[in-house]
Amino acid sequence: MVPSSQEAEKQMPAEPGQDLELKSWRCLVFYLCFYGFMAQLRPGESFITPYLLGPDKNFTREQVTNEITPVLSYCYLVVLVPVFLLTDYLRYKPVLVLQSLSYISVWLLLLLGRSVPHMQLMELFYSITMAARIAYSSYIFSLVRPARYQRMASYSRAATLLGVFTSSVLGQLLVTVGRVSFSTLNYISLGLLAFSLVLALFLKRPRRSLFFNRDAPVCRGAAPSELDRMNPDAKLGRALLEAWRDWTLVRMLRELGDNLRSPQLRLWSLWWVFNSAAYYLIVYYVHILWNVVHPTTDSTSVYNGGADAASTLLGAITSFSAGFVKVHWALWAKLVIAGVTAAQAALVFLMYSTNNIWLCYVAFVLFRGAYQFLVPIATFQIASSLSKELCALVFGVNTFLATVLKTIITLIVSDKRGLGLPVHSQFLVYFAYFLVLFGVYLLGAVLVVLQRFRASRRAPQPPELSPAKEKAMQMLSEQEGGLSSLQPEALPLASQEQNQQPEAKA
């Protein structure tokens, strides 16, 4: 008996090359996820602010708020573009090693530094680690086939979130249960970061990248003509012009200009810029606010790590749930954004006005969850109509513009060379900022609904029937079975009468 084709495929043993490739891919996935998990283990990160304000360093609240923390925004703006370009040009791995070295420098300065310039230098190295985060997310896509992008992205994202959550929980347990000092916690973080540096040294360096290290294009030009041989300067000029036009970044900028005509791309890119700027400012300064709301010298009563862990967990849940939201985004996107922005404004005002540290913790957790809910939606809406290269460029431009806006706000509101406001007053400014955004989004949503309503009113309506005609049509429909068998011409005649009615009205 001859087996069927499907049974034959099942009985056919797998090729050794395929087994080797699958095994290699699984090992690569495990190592990358393990590295992503270990790189997030910094249990002392949630307690940096109380460490700086405590007896170990003894900086004043004004120094931390108006002199040290603003440097982070300035340095991040300076290093963002160079690190982004170096990430692609050096093919990811060197930048990941640089990130690990910068993290080690941050914690060495935390432990050994004694002055404000030392802490400002620490913020410089921390900004490098923030700018280099794109290296890990881009690196994983350069090592696997496109068919495995989605699974790889989910694995790496899960590993990163699990690392952040574990780091926050571990730091909180060591402080509250183990009664470990902030200084000892930073030494533990330094040891874990040294181990992540060792892991980064053994990462595989890919052979290609997104922009600079692409596969060589196939030559589509014809053989050189006699004119080219006679005039080599003209040939060189044409070659340079074609190379400029074909350069990936220039080509993508032209495509980006064409795609900016899409209303959804503009809407979600603007949301990314304006919302992200204020979101990260609140993340930067909320630890200082917690110290104002709950000033204490007892480290065991500081629950910053627990708040960070809860916000990370809620952010992961809301990001996951956003994938199941079914909404007509072309119609309701602005209204959804307005609702989330209103909730963020209310939560920021609660953090500003409350004197209860637990309410402040809960407000921050919900604030981060609201932001993380819209991030995957914005990512999908931006990326759905773009190529992979163009999508990376759009996110890079959005991040850069958000950083510029964040730097401007920092210079005006936080820096001592500007207004130099205390942290409580800063949160009042951020509340007004979100309130203005809510008003703009709500106005846009109302305009969209009104436009749709007017368009539906202008649409041609079906002709109205007189009561006698409606009754006759009802009787015909009830007797449709019998009339169709006895008088087959009745139904077409009725339809002819109906078609004649609008002509008579016309």
Residue 478 placed within a domain: no
CA–CA dist 337, 38 (Å, integer):
35
Residue 476 placed within a domain: no
Both tokens of 201, joined, read: 């040294």
CA–CA dist 169, 306 (Å, integer):
6
Question: Is residue 388 over pLDDT 80?
Answer: no
**Residue partners of 41: CB distance under 8 A and separation at least 6:** 163, 166, 167, 170, 189, 192, 196
Asked if residue 29 and residue 167 are part of one domain, the reply reads yes
Asked if residue 301 and residue 153 are part of one domain, the reply reads no
CA–CA dist 310, 365 (Å, integer):
6
CA–CA dist 433, 421 (Å, integer):
15
Q: What is the mean pLDDT of the chain?
A: 80
Asked if residue 80 and residue 166 are part of one domain, the reply reads yes
CA–CA dist 322, 83 (Å, integer):
31
Asked if residue 182 and residue 277 are part of one domain, the reply reads no
Higher-confidence residue of 30 and 186: namely: 186
pLDDT at 43: 95
Average pLDDT over residues 278-284: 94
Question: What sign does the dihedral 186-191-192-197 (CA atoms) show?
Answer: positive
CA–CA dist 131, 395 (Å, integer):
13
CATH number, domain containing residue 447? 1.20.1250.20
Both tokens of 335, joined, read: 């209204």
Asked if residue 46 and residue 122 are part of one domain, the reply reads yes
Residue 10 placed within a domain: no
Residue where a domain stops, chosen among 418, 440, 458: 458
Residue 248 placed within a domain: no
CA–CA dist 372, 340 (Å, integer):
11
Asked if residue 267 and residue 199 are part of one domain, the reply reads no
Residue 153 placed within a domain: yes
Structure confidence at residue 2 as a pLDDT band (50, 70, 90):
very low
Asked if residue 70 and residue 201 are part of one domain, the reply reads yes
Question: Is residue 9 over pLDDT 50?
Answer: no
pLDDT at 478: 55
- Total domain count, the chain: 2
Asked if residue 276 and residue 139 are part of one domain, the reply reads no
User: What are the residue ranges of helices labelled H in 46-181?
Assistant: 48-53, 61-63, 70-89, 93-112, 116-131, 133-139, 149-176
| pLDDT tens, residue by residue, 337-376 | 999 999 999 999 999 999 999 999 999 999 999 999 998 8
What 359-367 contacts at long range (C-beta under 8 Å, 24+ apart), as own/partner pairs, is: 360/289, 360/290, 360/293, 360/294, 361/290, 361/303, 361/306, 361/307, 361/310, 364/282, 364/286, 364/307, 364/311, 365/307, 365/310, 365/311, 365/314, 366/314, 367/282, 367/311
Residue where a domain stops, chosen among 163, 187, 206: 206
**Residue partners of 224: CB distance under 8 A and separation at least 6:** 235
Which amino acid is residue 127, in one-letter code?
S
Average pLDDT over residues 157-185: 92
Residue 489 placed within a domain: no
User: What are the residue ranges of helices labelled H in 5-69?
Assistant: 5-11, 16-39, 48-53, 61-63
| pLDDT tens, residue by residue, 221-255 | 444 444 344 444 444 444 444 544 455 556 666 66
Residue 232 placed within a domain: no
Q: Tell me which residue of 213, 175, 207 sits closest to 86, measured CA to CA.
A: 213
Token pair 């916690």 is found at 185
Buried b (16+ CB within 10 A) or exposed e, 27-57: ebbeebbebbbbbbbbbbbbbbbbbbbbeeb
pLDDT at 221: 45
Asked if residue 263 and residue 181 are part of one domain, the reply reads no
Asked if residue 187 and residue 42 are part of one domain, the reply reads yes
Of 22-31, 66-75, 124-133, 411-420, the poorest mean pLDDT is in: 22-31
Asked if residue 141 and residue 33 are part of one domain, the reply reads yes
Asked if residue 271 and residue 197 are part of one domain, the reply reads no
CA–CA dist 125, 106 (Å, integer):
6
Question: Is residue 152 over pLDDT 80?
Answer: no
DSSP H or E segment with residue 497: helix 490-505
Cβ contact 273:398 at 8 Å: yes
Residue 28 belongs to domain spanning? 21-206
pLDDT at 30: 86
Q: Concatenate the DSSP letters of all residues of 324-376 into one string.
A: T----HHHHHHHHHHHHHHHHHHHHHHHHH---HHHHHHHHHHHHHHHHHHHH
Give the chain's end-to-end CA distance (angstroms, integer). Answer: 75
Residue 223 placed within a domain: no
